[in-house]
């Protein structure tokens, strides 16, 4: 019965399209534009959100870091300089947390500063130098294309070895392999033992591993002053699981840091614990607002389109009044007539909705610079569902009118 109704509805809908092509197209235009606007907004929002979150991928996942201030939330009543007066993390604190944290799979310690790299007559400016502990690769992603990572002996001994980014390698070694060569920065010669895989530029211009080098932390301390008025290192711990596990890790880190820094119970913490998810949540809230705006803008077009579909269905009922009377005289039930016209309305709206989704899909092929836009299955499904709902809402009244027609009066009217 369902297939029979669906087949007849498609056939009648096609007749409406082919017989009154201009009228139907104008009526479907509202649905098409409405769905196109909504799906376009959601596609751009999803793509922007993904690209921006990817820009912060260097912060890691399932990671809790110890810093002087929060990434997102900051007390506006506290002067900014107060955060800078907070004590810097120390290597002893790192070793204490590494030895005692039960909810962390790995703990690392690193500091960063920028400098100029030189090799023979070539040089490259503003390169981020990361002085890291051995566990850095276990907390953050270190994708080495050529060469190798540091050994524990190189890290502990503060050897003059380095892993360089793709841009550094191309600038200093355009025609030769950098492995085994020595680069110079701040009076120190560093032997290249590895080259990172190319990451590319992020949408927000956040730090990229392409313009970065890694060196052992103890070598880093020979090149830069660490502590107050100098480099403020970061302690980062990677949790075993997300959500609840990270909350437990964060609470454990806070308790241990307060203990090792000798803070009394009523004293405020002189450090901040940050999670990358906080940035992601803040970004998500902004894009939620943009999404609501998309619904409002597209909703007006959908409203106009819905009235257009309803108008088509009333005309269709009027034109097929005699056919309805014949069907009822042959024993057709009211629900058969109702579903016949309701399916037709849904089918017409789906045509408009699918057309709108198709237009958005074609628009994703337009070059947008560094922004990668992709139409997700979720948004395709959203377009189909919204189209179906519009079909039901706009077709239910004409369908109910057709179902309630008296067979004798219907045949006379025809």
Alpha-helical regions (H) of 109-235: 136-139, 152-157, 166-172, 217-223
Same structural domain, 236 and 153: yes
Question: Which of 270, 292, 311 represents a domain boundary (last residue)?
Answer: 270
Measuring CA to CA, which residue among 297, 376, 291, 361 is closest to residue 47? 376
Contacts of 35 (CB under 8 A, 6+ apart): 298, 302, 352, 353, 355, 356, 357, 383, 386, 387
pLDDT of amino acid 153: 94
- Residue 134's domain comprises 87-270
Question: Which of 210, 239, 270 represents a domain boundary (last residue)?
Answer: 270
Instruction: Say if CB 381 and CB 330 are below 8 A apart.
Output: no
Confidence of residue 388 (pLDDT cuts 50, 70, 90): confident
> How does pLDDT run across 130-147, given as a tens digit for each residue?
999 999 999 988 889 999
CA distance 89 to 232: 7
CA distance 255 to 257: 6
Question: Which of 250, 270, 290 represents a domain boundary (last residue)?
Answer: 270
- 104: β partners: 239
Which residue would you say has higher pLDDT here, 188 or 11?
188
Same structural domain, 246 and 286: no
Measuring CA to CA, which residue among 128, 133, 91, 123 is closest to residue 113? 128
As a whole-number percent, the residues of the chain with pLDDT over 90 amount to 28
Q: Which two tokens stand for residue 366?
A: 């337009």
pLDDT of amino acid 208: 75
Same structural domain, 102 and 171: yes
Asked if the structure places residue 74 within a domain, the reply is no
> How does pLDDT run across 55-64, given as a tens digit for each residue?
665 566 788 8
The average pLDDT across 364-379 equals 78
Residue 152: pLDDT over 80: yes
Same structural domain, 246 and 303: no
Same structural domain, 311 and 347: yes
End-to-end CA distance of the chain: 26
Residue 209: pLDDT over 80: yes
pLDDT of amino acid 202: 60
Same structural domain, 154 and 223: yes
The neighbour count for residue 278, using CB atoms within 10 Å, is 15
Same structural domain, 362 and 386: yes
Same structural domain, 41 and 97: no
Same structural domain, 360 and 226: no
Same structural domain, 99 and 35: no
Same structural domain, 329 and 398: yes
CA distance 158 to 219: 5
Residue 39: pLDDT over 60: yes
The average pLDDT across 217-226 equals 92
The overall average pLDDT reported for the chain is 82
Residue 165: pLDDT over 90: yes
Same structural domain, 246 and 354: no
Instruction: Say if CB 276 and CB 56 are below 8 A apart.
Output: yes
Residue 320: pLDDT over 70: yes
């Amino acid at each position: 019965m369902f297939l029979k109704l669906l087949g007849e509805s498609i056939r009648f809908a096609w007749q409406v399209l082919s017989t009154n092509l201009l009228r139907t197209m104008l009526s479907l235009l509202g649905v098409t534009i409405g769905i196109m606007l909504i799906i376009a907004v959601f596609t751009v929002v999803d793509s922007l959100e993904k690209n921006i979150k990817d820009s912060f991928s260097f912060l890691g996942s399932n990671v809790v870091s110890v810093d002087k201030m929060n990434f997102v939330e900051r007390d506006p009543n506290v002067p900014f300089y107060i955060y800078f007066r907070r004590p810097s993390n120390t290597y002893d604190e790192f070793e204490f947390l590494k030895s005692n944290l039960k909810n962390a799979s790995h703990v690392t310690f690193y500091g960063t500063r920028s400098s100029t790299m030189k090799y023979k007559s070539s040089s490259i400016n503003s390169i981020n130098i990361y002085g890291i502990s051995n566990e850095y690769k276990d907390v953050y992603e270190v994708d080495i294309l050529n060469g190798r990572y540091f050994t524990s002996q190189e890290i502990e001994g503060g050897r003059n070895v380095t892993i360089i980014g793709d841009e550094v390698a191309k600038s200093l070694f355009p025609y030769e392999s950098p492995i085994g060569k020595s680069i110079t920065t701040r009076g120190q010669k560093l032997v290249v033992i590895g080259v990172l895989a190319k990451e590319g530029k992020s949408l927000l211009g956040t730090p990229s591993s392409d313009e970065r080098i890694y060196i052992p932390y103890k070598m880093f301390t020979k090149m830069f002053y660490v502590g107050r008025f100098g480099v403020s290192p970061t302690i980062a711990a990677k949790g075993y699981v997300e959500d609840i596990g990270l909350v437990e890790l964060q609470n454990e880190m806070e308790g241990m840091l307060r203990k090792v820094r000798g803070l009394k119970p009523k004293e405020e913490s002189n450090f901040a614990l940050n999670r990358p998810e906080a940035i992601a949540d803040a970004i998500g809230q902004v894009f939620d607002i943009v999404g609501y705006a998309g619904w409002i803008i597209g909703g007006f077009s959908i409203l106009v389109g819905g009235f257009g579909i309803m108008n088509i269905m009333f005309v269709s009922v009027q034109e097929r009044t005699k056919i309805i009377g014949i069907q009822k005289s042959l024993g057709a039930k009211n629900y058969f007539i109702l579903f016949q016209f309701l399916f037709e309305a849904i089918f017409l709206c789906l045509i408009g909705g699918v057309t709108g989704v198709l237009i958005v899909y074609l628009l994703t092929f337009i070059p947008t610079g560094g922004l990668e836009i992709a139409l997700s299955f979720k948004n395709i499904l959203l377009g189909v569902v919204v189209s179906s709902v519009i079909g039901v809402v706009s077709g239910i009244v004409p369908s109910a009118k057709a179902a309630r027609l008296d067979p004798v009066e219907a045949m006379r009217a025809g």
